[in-house]
Every structure is written in structure tokens, then in C-alpha cells.
Structure 1
Amino acid sequence: MNTPPRKAVVAAAALLTLSLLSACAKDEAGASLELTSALPDSVPSGTELRLGDPQLQSVIQASGLDKELTDAGVTVEWANISGGPKSIQAFRADKLDCSAVADIPSLFAAWTGTATKIVFQAVTIDPLKFPIYQLGVAPGVSVTSLADLRGKKIAYSAGQAQGALVLRVLQKAGLSQKDVTLVELTSNGDSYVTALGSKAVDVAPIAAANVKIYNAKYPGATAINTGIRDDASTLYCLTKSVEDADKAAALKAYVAVRTKALLWANEHPDEYAKAYYQDVQGLNEADAKDVVATDGNKGVPATWDNAIKRLQETADLLATEQNHEKLDVNTLVDRRFEKVQAEAAGAQVVTGDAA
């Protein structure tokens, strides 16, 4: 009987090890799912989603809806990540499956080579009455209308919703970038408020919920409304996560639970204020309730048509103003989740102009 050479035995063992590792990795990742295939209903036990969704995380836990995820077999690894820059960085490092953002990050992910899909759309029921942002004006600076922006220094972040809003405001005012000075400044926490207070900029889009605090902190500070709808709210995910059958099934369950949590917050404003703005953001009870009152109720649109139309308009504007390639935003949304949301919302889906 011939004995194989030692090198051949070692090589065969190495190939077997690699095969086993590859098989394990494939099992862990789950079967591949075509983006045109129906979302699976059954979640393999222990399927994990890595989610950067801190606001809805607090609501899901406060409402007890986290039990529905557990019962569905979904395990969530929560990450304190939201917003475009941090989420795209986490996507590139493969540390995150999905993150809560406005609509702009999905565009910049595409423009910078990171494939993502929007799987959740939310709207504000009365978007012009309850804007996400107002234009904060530095103390001593006179801006009472959009026309007054001419010649002003405006805080600007190209890859964030605030940056897109600035461009839309200029467009509405009949101004161009040449008529103002755009000051590159990433909006991170209170950075825009601090820039206004120190007069590093004259104008900056700041969260409407923070205007009261801004005015109190800096005597002479003011703010004006933009008159522009800015309520886009999405959950976007790595495309490869949506193409993973196990994760896609888990996401189907999560989107349904997230929808219910959004509607629960409308019906339980005090509990919502405590769960997120007090316990997570550290506001006192009065300020937390004030913030929730300025948020306005959120809803789930019966159809994503209007949201996609608005996203396309924004993409076209940014392509022109920031020299990006033209983009068909239909490639960035996974409309299989549209029905999941609508069914979870039931009779509370939003129709008409608000959608």
C-alpha cells in the first residue's frame, strides 16, 4: 500500500479546513436572496441584525415591542449610531446592517461606492407645521426672510440632510452658492449651535426642537422657518444584508415592529419623551415633553411614490450643485418593505399630500 507524501497530506488537510470554514461562513451568512424574490416569512432562530436606530430602539423597548422581535427569532445588536457619516463609515467596516437616517445618506452612499437599500419610510403628519429644522440666526445678525440670506455665512455639510436643505433654501430664495459663503462644517450634536453662538457662521439649519434652547442660551439669537418640507425619515441597510435571506426575514419582522413603535410614540407622548429624550438624551422632564410637542406625529405612507419623487428631486439638485453623477433613486429603495409597513400600520397609514 502506497502512503501519500507528507506535503500532500498537509495540503489536503488545509483544503478541507478551508472548505469547512467556507461552509460555516456560508451558513452563518444565510442563503443568498435575489432582490426580486419575496421576503421570507420565517426567521431562523438567533438571526442577528446590527442596527443603528437609537431613537426607535428606546421606543421599542419602552413599549414592550421588543418581545415581538424575540418571539420572531430576531436578535438585535444595537449600536449608538445614526446619521449619514457615521453609518456609512460603519457600513464600509461591515459593522452595521442598517441605520436610521434622513434621505441624503443613501445618495452619498451610492455616490461613494457603498451599496444600500432604503427599507423604511416615515413622514410627519403635518410637515410644514412641524419642520425638522429651522434656520438658526447668530446673535446680532438680521435675517427675517430667505431673501436676507444673500451675503451671509451659512453652515454647510455636503453629505448630510442639513446640507441639502441649505441648497433647497437657496433655490427657493432665488439665490446661488455664489450669493452666499458656505462654511463646511459637519453637523454633529451641537456643532451648528456652537458655530452660531460663536458667530463663526451667520446662519445654520438647527433642529427645530433645539431652537428654544438655542434662543435661551444665546441672547439675541433668532430663528426662521424655511417653508420647505424636510421630514424625510428612513432606515437604510447594506444591500448585502438585504440579499441575505436570514437577515431579510429578520428585517421584515423589524420593519413591522418599527412601524408599530412609531405609532405607539404618537399615542404615548409622555412615555416616549421619558424613554428617549430624558433617559437617553438627558433632558429634564419639561424640556423632553417640549421636544416631543415640536416633533409632531409621525406616520407611515400607504405608498412610497411621493417620497421617491422628492428623493429624485433632491438627487437631481445635488447632482447639479455638487457635481455628482445623475442617479436613478429607484435603485436605492427596496419596495418589498412598502407593503410590510402598510400592513403593520393598518388603518393608520398616511395618504394624500402628507405622504
Structure 2
Amino acid sequence: MPISTRTRPTRRRSLLVVLGAVPVLAVLTACGGSSKAADSGPALALTAALPNAVPNGTTLVVGDPQVEQALKLSGELDKFSYPVTFANISGGPQTLEAFRAKALDVGSVADIPPLQAAWTGVDTRIVAAQFRTQPQTHPVYQLGVAPGVTVKSLADLRGKKIAYSPGQAQGALVLRVLQKAGLTQGDVQLVELPSTGDVYPTALSSKQIDVAPLGGVAVTRYLTKYASDGATVVPHGLRDDPAHLYALESSLQDAGKAAAIREYVAHWGVALKWIDEHPKEWIEGYYVKNQGLSAADGGYLVKAAGARDVPTDWTAAIKRHQATADLLSTEQKRAHIDVATIWDRRFEKVGGTAYRTGRAS
């Protein structure tokens, strides 16, 4: 796949933020991931049927922290036919770094990291997908507005400084919001910022930026702390709900690992069903005990997410993904991608069927 060199649009600014993050490879090494993900087995063509049996000695390293906890809380982890290793990483930048080092087999991300991987020469395939059944009324993100800045509609974004993370879902959302508002990148100031931790809320509260996409409990915390100073949030009205598992092509070309990934996706589907059917246990076990949030925050996140959709037909999802890829190709001066080539439809029914039946078999 041809890769083009990324160019910066005019008027885009960078804001340096010091992050105290632990290097991804150090985390993976600590959990044993760097060696296990490099194992090899019999070759398997990417067009070949997925094997069902996982050979003895097969290892798999997965970066899917949320579902890891669901697998443990539900007891589903005990039903694996092989020992899966979990790496405490998620999101595009971390998984991409781990994929480059061949230290990870599967990662949990939104829809932009698989595109970013393709544009930067890392071959991956999407193997599972989930969405929200009411994405417009239950969005993942809202647009946080800095204290003293007036944004009541998307048209008011003109001239504003907007946080922008090019390789992440938040960055794509910003471009889609501008498209919906009839604005171009030249009509605003895009400030490159990573969307990790409290970077966006901090930059908003200090008025280094005017607008940033905020997700989850960050919305309520931002308003709790800064609404009295004039901070607000506005809805964007777009669908922003894709959540995927993607895997290294080289892992899918290993027959043992391909079978292990197939099994993981099935257990993943069961774990998602358990989350939806056990909200109290999920809030207490994950949000409170694992993430350190309050029960109220956990309840807010469960309610905000709404009902889940784990489709067994990816046709509509691929079409939406293609539209996003085409927008980014234009706006970020990237090579065109046929997204159908990065969706591994051998897995199309695996996760969705397990979610519906509650069984991984």
C-alpha cells in the first residue's frame, strides 16, 4: 500500500505538553509481552479459513484492559483453552508502538488507529467491532468549551483554537465536525495535543485552547470544576461510537495465533454481554475497584453509553469507515485507503454471535 508523507495544514500550531508516561515497551517487557508476541507457528494465508483449535504452546499478547477486567469478573477468563497475556495498554499511539516492536498481537482502539497503522507502514486487520445503538443521543464525546469562550453551535467554531490529535479518534472527530459546520482547517486554529489523561481539560481551563473533544467522565468532571467560571460543553451531533479490536497481520498469518485470536474475539463478545447484563457488578468491579472512580461516576458512564451493538454484518460499518478514511486522506494529505482491505471478514460473525448467545463456542 503506498504511503504518502504527511504535511501540516496551514495555521496548525503545536503545544508542547510534558507527559510522565511509562514507555510502552517497558510495560510490555514487565508483563512478558515482548517475548511472547514474537513466537511463530505454521503459516496461514490471510484468505484461508480460520482454524478452531489452538495448538499447545500458542501465546497471545492482548492490549484490551477494560475487557480484561470483564473476563476476570465474569469468570470467562477461566474458559480459555490457552493462557492469554494482557498488556496494560490501549489506544492508537501505544498499540502502534507495540505493534512496531512485534510486542503485541491484538489491541483495542477506535476507528482511526487502523488507518494510522496503514499510513505508517504497519499491516493490521480489524477483527472485532462494537458500536452504540443510539450513537447520536449517546455520544462518546462532547465538545468542551473553555471558560469565557462562546460556542453555542458548530458555526461558532470559526476562529477558535481547537485541540487536535491527528492519529486518534478525537482528531478525526474534529475534522468531521468542521466538515459538518461548513468550515475548513483554515477557518480555525488546530492545536496539536495528545488526548491522554487530563491534557485537554487542563488546556481548556488555562485557556490555551478554546475547544476540545471530551469523553466519558471527563465531561462531568470538567463542568463540576469549571462551570462556575463559564465552562460549557456542546453536542456535535455526529456518530462517534466505533470501537474495534485489531491485530497484526503477521499474527493472523500464524495459524496458532489466528486460532487464538478467533477464540479471544469470541470470549470478548461474551464479556461484553456480561457487562451489559451485570451493570452493578461492572460498576463496582471495574469503575470503582479497578479505575478508582466513584460509584456515581461509574453509573454515569454506564448510562451515557446506552445500549450496545455488536454486529454480525460489517457492511454498514465498513462504509462509514471508508467515508472517514476518505475525509482524512483529503484533510491530512494521506494516501487513499480501501478500508475493505483492513477488515478481516473471516471474523465478521465471531464476536457478534458470541455476544448474542453468551457463549464462546
TM-score between both structures, scaled by the size of structure 1: 0.87
Larger gyration radius, structure 1 or structure 2: 1
1:254 aligns with 2:264: yes
The alignment partner of 2:163 has SS state of strand
Report if aligned partners of 1:262, 1:299 keep a CA contact under 8 Å in 2: no
Higher helix share: 1
Counting aligned pairs with the same residue, the percent is 55
Q: State the distance in 2 between where 1:191 and 1:277 align.
A: 21
Report if aligned partners of 1:29, 1:244 keep a CA contact under 8 Å in 2: yes
Instruction: Name the stretch that deviates more: 297-306 or 158-167.
Output: 297-306
Deviation at residue 289 of structure 1 after TM alignment: 1.6
Q: State the distance in 2 between where 1:321 and 1:302 align.
A: 31
1:314 aligns with 2:324: yes
In the alignment, residue 61 of structure 2 is paired with which amino acid?
Answer: R
1:217 aligns with 2:191: no
- Which of the residues 58, 64, 74 maps onto 2:69? 58
1:120 aligns with 2:128: yes
Instruction: Name the stretch that deviates more: 276-285 or 221-230.
Output: 276-285
Deviation at residue 75 of structure 1 after TM alignment: 1.4
Spell out the pairing of 1:182-331 with structure 2 (5 A cutoff).
Answer: 182-218=190-226, 219=228, 220-331=230-341
In the alignment, residue 112 of structure 2 is paired with which amino acid?
Answer: I
| Match of residue 345 from structure 2 | 335
Q: State the distance in 2 between where 1:139 and 1:28 align.
A: 52
Report if aligned partners of 1:82, 1:100 keep a CA contact under 8 Å in 2: yes
The alignment partner of 1:99 has SS state of strand
In the alignment, residue 284 of structure 1 is paired with which amino acid?
Answer: S
In the alignment, residue 238 of structure 1 is paired with which amino acid?
Answer: L
Report if aligned partners of 2:39, 2:59 keep a CA contact under 8 Å in 1: no
Q: State the distance in 2 between where 1:280 and 1:110 align.
A: 33
In the alignment, residue 43 of structure 1 is paired with which amino acid?
Answer: V
Q: State the distance in 2 between where 1:311 and 1:82 align.
A: 20
Q: State the distance in 2 between where 1:62 and 1:94 align.
A: 29
Deviating beyond 2 angstroms after TM superposition, the runs of 4 or more aligned structure 1 residues are 345-348
| Match of residue 48 from structure 2 | 37
Q: State the distance in 1 between where 2:247 and 2:57 align.
A: 19
In the alignment, residue 294 of structure 2 is paired with which amino acid?
Answer: N
- Which of the residues 116, 139, 142 maps onto 2:150? 142
The alignment partner of 1:130 has SS state of coil
Report if aligned partners of 2:146, 2:207 keep a CA contact under 8 Å in 1: yes
In the alignment, residue 50 of structure 1 is paired with which amino acid?
Answer: V
| Match of residue 78 from structure 1 | 86
1:157 aligns with 2:171: no
Where do 5+ consecutive residues of structure 1 fail to align? 1-24, 349-355
| Match of residue 19 from structure 1 | none
Report if aligned partners of 2:136, 2:239 keep a CA contact under 8 Å in 1: yes
| Match of residue 29 from structure 2 | none
Q: State the distance in 2 between where 1:264 and 1:246 align.
A: 27
In the alignment, residue 114 of structure 2 is paired with which amino acid?
Answer: S
Deviation at residue 275 of structure 1 after TM alignment: 2.3
In the alignment, residue 190 of structure 2 is paired with which amino acid?
Answer: L
Report if aligned partners of 1:263, 1:299 keep a CA contact under 8 Å in 2: no
Deviation at residue 28 of structure 1 after TM alignment: 4.6
Report if aligned partners of 2:318, 2:339 keep a CA contact under 8 Å in 1: yes
Q: State the distance in 2 between where 1:291 and 1:341 align.
A: 23
Where do 5+ consecutive residues of structure 2 fail to align? 1-35
Deviation at residue 347 of structure 1 after TM alignment: 6.3
| Match of residue 176 from structure 1 | 184
Q: State the distance in 2 between where 1:28 and 1:182 align.
A: 42
Deviation at residue 281 of structure 1 after TM alignment: 1.6
In the alignment, residue 95 of structure 2 is paired with which amino acid?
Answer: S
Over 3 Å counting, the alpha-carbon distance change for 1:28 and 1:204 in structure 2 is closer
Instruction: Name the stretch that deviates more: 195-204 or 265-274.
Output: 265-274
1:133 aligns with 2:141: yes
Deviation at residue 175 of structure 1 after TM alignment: 0.3
- What whole-Å deviation, never above 9, does each CA across 1:267-310 have from its counterpart, x for those lacking one? 11111112221122210222222222112222211200111111
In the alignment, residue 33 of structure 1 is paired with which amino acid?
Answer: L
